């Protein structure tokens, strides 16, 4: 994979809604702790692909091999990362493929309301389509101009800065378009279905009517 300067690059911007301040209950973190469930997967580029499936506009599936995916238009955004474990990392520069690019190349059907982002080992996280399609939502390959490390999600992690970080899985392998909501891995295990750090939506018992499927 080439460095960002070798690929098409968008404007470095904080994007809409960037705050660079701490949400309720968060503390400022210097550095970037490694947090994940399970082992770090081994990356095999010859076997890796990124898939879009489910309720696509044409009813077909889309797939990119690793070389094809990393050749897609590159953009960088400056945004925060808020972990539900209560640390926040402010003002990081993330680089990669915008979620909106995937939506343009593999359009969802008109009735799609949510997506499920799938990662290695069957890990999943559900998102409202409006959150997934945010200007800042990015399939990141780089942080601060450097390739992600394996522990932080190489070759690909989703970054959705306005939600808690568990909504952006590491080691992403694909996106499923859904016409009804369905809980992902942590959402099935007691985490809030939406995950807005500014509303401190950490746990499912905090959910208001309409914020998630029944457990």
Instruction: Supply the range of the domain harboring residue 160.
Output: 47-206
The CA distance from 32 to 143, in Å, is: 11
- Which tokens in the block code for residue 118? 């799938």
Token look-up 């499927």 returns 213
pLDDT-based confidence at 215, cuts 50/70/90? confident
Q: 23-61 pLDDT, tens per residue?
A: 999 999 887 776 767 788 999 999 999 999 999 999 999
- Domain assignment present for 21: no
Does the pLDDT of residue 13 top 50, yes or no? no
Which pLDDT does position 36 carry in this prediction? 67
Q: What CATH number should be reported for the domain holding residue 101?
A: 3.90.420.10
- Domain assignment present for 25: no
What is the pTM (predicted TM-score) of this model? 0.89
Q: Is 15 exposed, middle or buried (0-12, 13-18, 19+ CB in 10 A)?
A: middle
**Mean pLDDT of the 154-170 span:** 97
Does the pLDDT of residue 21 top 90, yes or no? no
- Domain assignment present for 19: no
The number of folded domains in the chain is 1
- Domain assignment present for 27: no
Q: 115-144 pLDDT, tens per residue?
A: 999 999 999 999 999 999 999 999 999 999
């Amino acid at each position: 994979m080439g460095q960002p300067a070798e690929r098409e690059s968008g404007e470095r911007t904080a994007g809409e809604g960037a705050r660079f301040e701490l949400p309720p209950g968060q503390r400022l973190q210097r550095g970037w702790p490694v947090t994940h469930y399970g082992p770090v997967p081994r990356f095999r580029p010859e076997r890796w692909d990124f898939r879009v499936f489910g309720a696509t506009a044409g009813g077909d599936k889309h797939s990119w091999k690793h070389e094809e995916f990393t050749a897609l238009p590159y953009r960088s955004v400056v945004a925060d990362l808020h972990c539900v474990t209560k640390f926040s990392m402010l003002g990081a520069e993330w680089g990669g493929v915008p979620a909106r690019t995937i939506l343009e190349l593999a359009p969802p059907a008109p009735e799609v309301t949510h997506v499920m982002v799938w990662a290695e080992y069957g890990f999943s996280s559900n998102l409202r389509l409006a959150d997934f399609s945010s200007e800042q939502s990015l399939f990141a390959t780089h942080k601060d101009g450097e390739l992600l490390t394996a522990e932080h999600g190489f070759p690909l992690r989703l970054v959705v800065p306005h939600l808690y970080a568990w909504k952006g899985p590491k080691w992403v392998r694909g996106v499923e378009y859904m016409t009804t909501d369905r809980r992902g891995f942590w959402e099935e295990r007691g985490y809030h279905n939406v995950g807005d750090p500014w509303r401190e939506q950490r746990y499912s018992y905090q959910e208001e009517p309409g914020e998630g499927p029944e457990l």
